[in-house]
């Protein structure tokens, strides 16, 4: 690499074709490399010449060839690249990631185009590798939504069956989930995603007859599952939910049906258990009990206590009930403030209104943007939250994210807005549909929020040591100029 640097310095890099070849299959893993100017993100916006390279699905640079590479973009799948004309320098382009916007300058227009193409090709290659890798998180049921389990045409049946088996094994590994929650039959392969319980095929038919407002039934082996839905079955499960819905079973003198019981017995039991909630421990005063349950639901949602939330709903708490003591907020807004992704998903599965707004005109998406919870923003957008709704100050979630300097959320909301505008414009010509690249990025945000939330933490987006060093050096230069009586350079 030292020889490479020396060779580059000796020639006019503006016309050096050898460094402008993108090669995703390079033996050393470096798909593209060369010198670029980088503008620091500090207050002085200084420019530095650095050796950049694209490798291992990352954009990195080095100050000296012996230095450890500094990562600019950790995952190229989560970034976009475009030319930049909003500055006084020529041949500039921007690499926009969830964490930051990096402004770079090439030595010529030809190099600028070469680097933009290289980043775009790297993004495409990264997505292709991600789809084909059988060990990638998206392909594992325990790591992402098992989106391939339920659909598709011919072929891949063995893979779907394997993924379904993984989901089944993962859920049944939780104590109590190996038997039907209502009759005790072993090996249940059906589940209710909003109740968080597993059941046998006969009880699943009865649950379906209750209506989706009470029980949303899915097959663990045939249907598609998202990561949060599988996690809910693991966090809640049959033992936890039965302690809530069967708390007063013995007091009522009722005997739970067995696997050998008739369908009529099972149907009577399930209706008493989930529709009438006959065996739930509740307050003596119905109205006061509902009000108190609503407050408990909000408090539990704010801290992400799923068990307490399930108990409050079972006791009659209104999922869309606003809490006067909390400014008219619902439990979903509380969950968005608190930062629990599972709490948000649990409430949405149980009928929470994603666009309900409090007395200040703010909804769950406003709250998540204010608090900087990228996972919640992604989930709420996916569930149909209105990103254009404004609060009493006239601010929508994007404006709030800009104001609070949550760069990752700004990027996500802007991409969602661009995709929506593009979809609307295409609809004029009869081609309605989402941009595939946006959907890939959106899914990866969701996966990261579910399984690697620390990568979306603002702590991960702090400035590198080099930028802090450059800023401190600039301060020292300014102090020396003031001490020597020099006039500071005009910016």
For residues 201 and 259, state if they share a domain: yes
Crossing angle between the packed helical segments 286-303 and 331-338, to the nearest 10 degrees: 20
465: pLDDT strictly greater than 60 = no
**Does residue 478 fall inside a structural domain?**
no
Least Cα distance to 326 among 316, 311, 339, 336 occurs for 336
pLDDT band (50, 70, 90) for residue 138: very low
Angle between helices 364-371 and 407-427 (to 10 degrees): 140
- How many C-beta neighbours within 10 Å does residue 439 have? 12
**490 inside domain:** no
Give the whole-angstrom CA distance, residue 50 versus residue 104: 10
Please give the pLDDT value at position 318.
Answer: 92
Euclidean distance between CA atoms 325 and 391, whole angstroms: 19
The answer as to whether 344 is a domain residue is yes
pLDDT at 140: 37
| 177 located within any domain | yes
Q: Is a pLDDT exceeding 70 seen at residue 415?
A: yes
pLDDT tens figures, 172-227: 888 789 999 999 999 898 999 999 999 999 999 999 888 888 999 988 887 777 87
Q: Side-chain half-sphere of 441: how many Cα atoms within 13 Å?
A: 24
Q: How far apart are CA 456 and CA 373, in angstroms?
A: 8
C-alpha–C-alpha distance, residues 448 and 450, integer Å: 5
Closest-CA residue to 178 (of 212, 217, 210, 220) = 220
* Contact (CB, 8 A) for 378 and 78: no
* 251 is a domain residue: yes
- The rounded distance, in Å, linking the Cα atoms of 140 and 148 is 10
Residue 290 lies in a domain: yes
Antiparallel, parallel or unpaired: β 80-84 and 70-73:
unpaired
| Interatomic CA distance for residues 62 and 105, integer angstroms | 15
- HSE-CB at 234 with a 13 A cutoff on CA atoms is 15
Q: Is residue 465 part of a domain?
A: no
Pair (376, 409) in one structural domain:
yes
**CB contact at 8 A, 314 and 277:** yes
Q: Are residues 100 and 242 in the same domain?
A: no
- Residue where one domain finishes, among candidates 104, 132, 160: 132
**405 or 262, which is more confident:** 262
pLDDT reported for residue 146: 37
pLDDT at 302: 93
Q: Indicate whether 72 pLDDT > 80.
A: yes
Domain count along the chain: 3
Q: Domain holding 55: CATH number?
A: 2.30.29.30
pLDDT of residue 478: 72
pLDDT value of position 291:
79
Does some domain include residue 302? yes
- Per-residue pLDDT, averaged over 83-88, amounts to 78
Mean predicted confidence (pLDDT) in 249-266: 89
**Spatial separation of the C-alpha atoms in residues 66 and 341, rounded to whole Å:** 42
At residue 150, does pLDDT exceed 50? no
The dihedral region occupied by 311, where left means phi > 0, alpha psi between -120 and 50, and beta the remainder, is: alpha
Picking from 109, 114, 113, the residue whose alpha carbon sits closest to that of residue 20 is: 114
Q: Supply the range of the domain harboring residue 298.
A: 286-456
Both 267 and 301 in one domain: the answer is no
- Region 31-38: mean pLDDT is 89
Average pLDDT in the chain: 78
Is pLDDT at 458 greater than 50 in this prediction? no
Last residue of a domain, one of 234, 256, 275: 275
């Amino acid at each position: 690499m030292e020889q490479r640097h020396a060779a580059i310095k000796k020639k006019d890099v503006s016309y050096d074709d050898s460094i402008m070849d993108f090669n995703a299959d390079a033996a050393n893993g470096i798909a593209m490399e060369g010198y670029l100017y980088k503008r620091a993100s500090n207050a002085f916006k200084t420019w530095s010449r650095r050796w950049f390279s694209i490798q291992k699905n990352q954009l990195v640079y080095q100050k000296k060839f012996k230095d450890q590479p500094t990562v600019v973009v950790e995952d190229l799948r989560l970034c976009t690249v475009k030319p930049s004309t909003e500055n006084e320098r020529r041949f500039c382009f921007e690499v926009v990631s969830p964490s930051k916007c990096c402004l770079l300058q090439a030595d010529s227009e030809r190099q600028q185009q070469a680097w933009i193409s290289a980043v775009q090709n790297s993004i495409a290659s990264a997505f292709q590798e991600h789809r084909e890798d059988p060990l990638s998180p998206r392909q594992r049921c325990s790591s992402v939504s098992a989106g391939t389990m339920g659909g598709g045409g011919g072929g891949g049946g063995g893979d779907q069956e394997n993924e379904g088996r993984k989901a089944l094994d993962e859920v049944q590994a939780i104590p109590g989930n190996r038997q039907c929650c209502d009759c005790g039959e072993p090996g249940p392969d059906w589940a209710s995603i909003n109740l968080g319980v597993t059941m046998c095929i006969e009880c699943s038919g009865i649950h379906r007859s209750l209506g989706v407002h009470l029980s949303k039934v899915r097959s663990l082996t045939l249907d598609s599952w998202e990561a949060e839905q599988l996690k809910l079955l693991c966090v809640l499960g049959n033992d936890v939910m039965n302690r809530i819905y069967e708390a007063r079973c013995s007091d009522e003198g009722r005997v739970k049906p067995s696997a050998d019981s008739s369908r009529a017995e099972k149907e009577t039991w399930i209706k008493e258990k989930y529709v009438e909630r006959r065996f739930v421990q509740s307050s003596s005063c119905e109205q006061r009990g509902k009000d108190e349950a609503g407050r408990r639901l909000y408090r539990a949602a704010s801290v992400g206590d799923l068990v307490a939330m399930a108990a409050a709903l079972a006791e009659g708490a209104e999922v869309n009930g606003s809490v006067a003591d909390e400014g008219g907020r619902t439990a979903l807004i509380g969950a968005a403030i608190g930062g629990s992704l599972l709490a948000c998903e649990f409430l949405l599965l149980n009928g929470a209104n994603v666009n309900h707004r409090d007395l200040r005109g703010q909804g769950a998406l406003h709250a998540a943007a204010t608090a900087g919870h990228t996972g919640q923003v992604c989930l709420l957008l996916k569930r149909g939250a209105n990103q254009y709704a404004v609060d009493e100050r006239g601010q929508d979630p994007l404006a709030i994210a800009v104001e609070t300097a949550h760069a990752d959320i700004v990027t996500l909301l802007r991409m969602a807005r661009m995709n929506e505008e593009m979809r609307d414009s295409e609809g004029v010509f009869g081609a309605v549909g989402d941009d595939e690249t946006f959907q890939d990025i959106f899914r990866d945000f969701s996966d990261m929020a579910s399984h690697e939330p620390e990568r979306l933490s603002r702590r991960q987006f702090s400035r590198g040591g080099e930028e802090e060093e450059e800023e401190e050096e600039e301060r020292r230069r300014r102090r020396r100029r003031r001490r020597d009586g020099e006039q500071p350079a005009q910016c």
